[in-house]
Structure 1
Amino acid sequence: MTEAAMTTMSAPAPTGRFGEFGGRYVPESLIPACAALETAFREAWADPAFHEQLSRLRSQYAGRPTALTPAHNLSAQLGVTLLLKREDLAHTGSHKINNVLGQALLARRMGKSRLIAETGAGQHGVATATAAALFGLRATVYMGERDIARQRHNVFRMELLGAEVIPVTSGSRTLKDATNEAMRAWVAAVDEAHFCLGSVGGPHPYPWLVRELQRVIGEEARAQAPAVPDVVVACVGGGSNAAGTFAGFVDTPARLIGVEAAGGAAMTDGMPGVVHGYRSMVLQDAHGQVLEAESIAAGLDYPGVGPEHAHLGATGRAEYRTVTDDEVLDAVRRLARAEGIICALESAHAVAWVLRAAGTPDLPTGSAVLLTLSGRGDKDMATLAGEVR
C-alpha cells in the first residue's frame, strides 16, 4: 500500500461521490428528502448535544464499548494472533444498533413519526424495531419472503417489539427486493417517514451517514488493540460493519480485507452500475440487468456493495476476497468449538478467510489480525441445525 492510497474516509465530494462511485440516483420526488436528510445530518453531526445523547445511548442502552477478545485457542491452531471485535455482544446482537440509534435520533429531530426499513438477515429490522419502541415511533420493515422463512426468530422479535413486518414476494424474495419495496414505500410516505437504511449503500447521504454512525467500531477497536494489527478483516455485503471497522484503521499501515460471499461478490465479480440509488460495483449481465446473488447468509445475499468500498478497492487501499458456503459453515463450527463463540453466518465469512489464509503468503505465520464479529448466531440456528455437525 502506498501513502497516496491512504484515505481518511472523510466526507464524500459535494456530489456524494467517493471517486467515481456513489451519487444520488433517485426519483425527482425523493431529491428534497435526501437533501433534507443531508442537511439534518450535517447539523446534528456538528451539534455537541446530539453526540452527547448518542454517546449516552451507546453506553447505557447498546452496551458499548464492545469487547476486543483474544482468540487464544484459534490463534494457537493457526499460527497468527487473532483478536475479535465483539459486535455480537451489542444490544440486539449485532452492529446494526449503532446505525439505527443515530438514525432514529435524526428522524425525531426531523419531526418524523415513522421508520421504514429493509432487512435481509433480520438484524437491521430488529434494531429498527428496537429503536422505534424506545423513541415511540412506528416501524414498518420490508423483508423478502425467502428470508422470512429462514429467519423466523428475528421476524418474531420484530413483531414482539411492535413493528409491522411486510413480506416481499417479488424477484428473488431476498434483500434486494426488500430494499426495492422499502424505497417505494418511502416515496409514498416521505412527509411522515424516515427511510432507516441499514447499510452503506443507497443515495447520498446514506453511505456517508451510515459509515459515520458505524465508525465507532473501528475507533474503539483501535483504542483497545495493543498495537496496530497487520490485517483488519470484516465480512462485506452492503458493507456497513466493514466500513465502520476500516474507518478506524484506514490511516494506518494495516491491510484492510473485506470478505464477500462467493455467490454474491460484487467487488470480485461485479461491474460499475447503478442499484438502489447509487453507483458502485454491481452484479449484472452484459445488458446491465442486475443479477441475483446467492449466499447461505441472508445478510450477504445482495448484488451490490457500498460505494466507498468500491472506491477503496479501486484505489487499492482495501482488498476483497470471497469464501464459499461450505467454508462458512466450517468456520462457524471451528470458532464455536475453539472459543465458545457462535457467530452469525455473515461474520463467519471473515473467519473463514482467516482459516484459509493463515500460514500462506496472504496471511503469513505470526501476523496480527483484528476481525470484526458483526453479529451472533442465534438467528441462524435453524440453518445451522441442518448443516453443521
Structure 2
Amino acid sequence: METLLRELAPQVLTALVRHHGGFDTCEDAVQEALLAAAMQWPVEGLPDNPKAWLITVASRRRTELWRSDTARRRREETVFARSVPDVPEVSAVDDSLTLLFLCCHPALTEASQVALTLRAVGGLTTAEIARAFLVPESTIAQRISRAKARIKAAGFAMPPPAELPERLRAVQHVLYLIFNEGYTASAGSSLHRVELSAEAIRLTRQLRAQLPDDGEVAGLLALMLLTDARRPARVSADGTPVPLDEQDRASWNAALIAEGVELITGTLASAPIGPYQLQAAISAVHDEAAHAGDTDWAQILTLYELLRTVSPGPMVTLNRIVAVAMVRGPTEGLAELDVAVADPALADHYRVDAVRAHLLALAGDRAAARKHYELAARRTLSQPERHYLISKAAAMG
C-alpha cells in the first residue's frame, strides 16, 4: 500500500494544484489525505478508485484549510458533509512530469529543488528527508517553505517549449543527486541511504515512462540500475566499504544488470550520446566482467575520454586518471594527477588523496601510499569510508 500511495501522491497533488492553485495549501491537504488512507484502507479495504478517493478527501481538506475561520467552518459543517465541494476531475493522465518540472524551477537553489522534489513528488515527509540528509528537520522545512513561496507565482503548468530542454536537464540532475546521496552518503555512519536511491530509481522510471524516446533519461535510469546492482556487495559485515575489485560479484543483482545493459545498449544505438549514457556504458563494462581481472579498462578509458569532452568535471577527471593507470601504468596516472590537482574543485578533496594512495600502492611505494590513505581518512566526512581508508593505510605497513 505504501508503494501505491507514493505513486498516487504526485498525481493527486497535481490535480489539486491545477484546479485550486496554492501549492502550499494543496500539498498539506494531500499529506492529510494520504494519512487518512494509510489509516482507513487497511481496515475498510482498498477503494475501487484509490486516486479519486484521495482527490476527494484532499479537496475537502483543502477547503477546510482555506476556511480558516473556525466559527464559520462549524456553521457550514452540516452542509459541507453532505456534498463534495468543487472536486477536480479525476484524470487518467499522470502529471508527475509537470510536477517534477515545477519542483526543479530555475528560481530555486539546488538544495531546495532536491528537498521539494522528495516532498512533493516522492511523498517523503519532512522528517524523512531530514534524516536522509542528516540535517535538522527545521532546515528542510525552511527549504521547502522558501521553495513553495518562490514558485507560487509560476502557476502549475509545463514551462514554455524553449525552456523544456534546460528544465529537463535540471530534473535529471536532481534525480542524479538524490540517487548518489543514497548510494554513497556524503556524511554519517552509513554508506547507503537506500530510501533515497530507491526513490530516485522509482521517479526516474516514471520519467522514462513519460519520455520513452529521450536517450539521456534512458541513460540515467540505466546508470542507476547498473550502479545499484552492486550495492549488495559494497559493504562488509562490519559496515566497511568493499572496493569494486574486491566485491563478490556473485551477489550482484543480475536482474538489474540485465535490465540496465539492455536499456543502455538500446539507447546508445538510437539516440544522441550524452553524459548519463556514457556513465551507464562505463558501469555496464564493469558489471559485465565476471572477475575484476576481466575488466576491459581500455574500453573504459575510451568512454572516459568521451565523457571528459561531453561533460568535464572533477570526479570525471579522477576516474579517468584511474583508468589511465590501469591501461598505461601507475606512473603515467600519477603524472596526470599532479596536473589535475591544480583544479580548485579538487583542492583538499579526500578523493584526490585516496586516488593518489591507490596509484602509489600500484607503483610499489607503500610508505607514500600509507601517508595519503591517512590524509584521505582525515578529510572524509563519511564514517564507513574513513574506516576503510584507515584499514588501507594499515595494510601498507
Question: TM-score, normalized by length of structure 2?
Answer: 0.28
Question: Which has the larger Rg?
Answer: 2
Greater RCO, 1 or 2 (C-alpha within 8 Å, sep 6+): 1
Question: TM-score, normalized by length of structure 1?
Answer: 0.28
Structure number with the higher strand fraction is 1
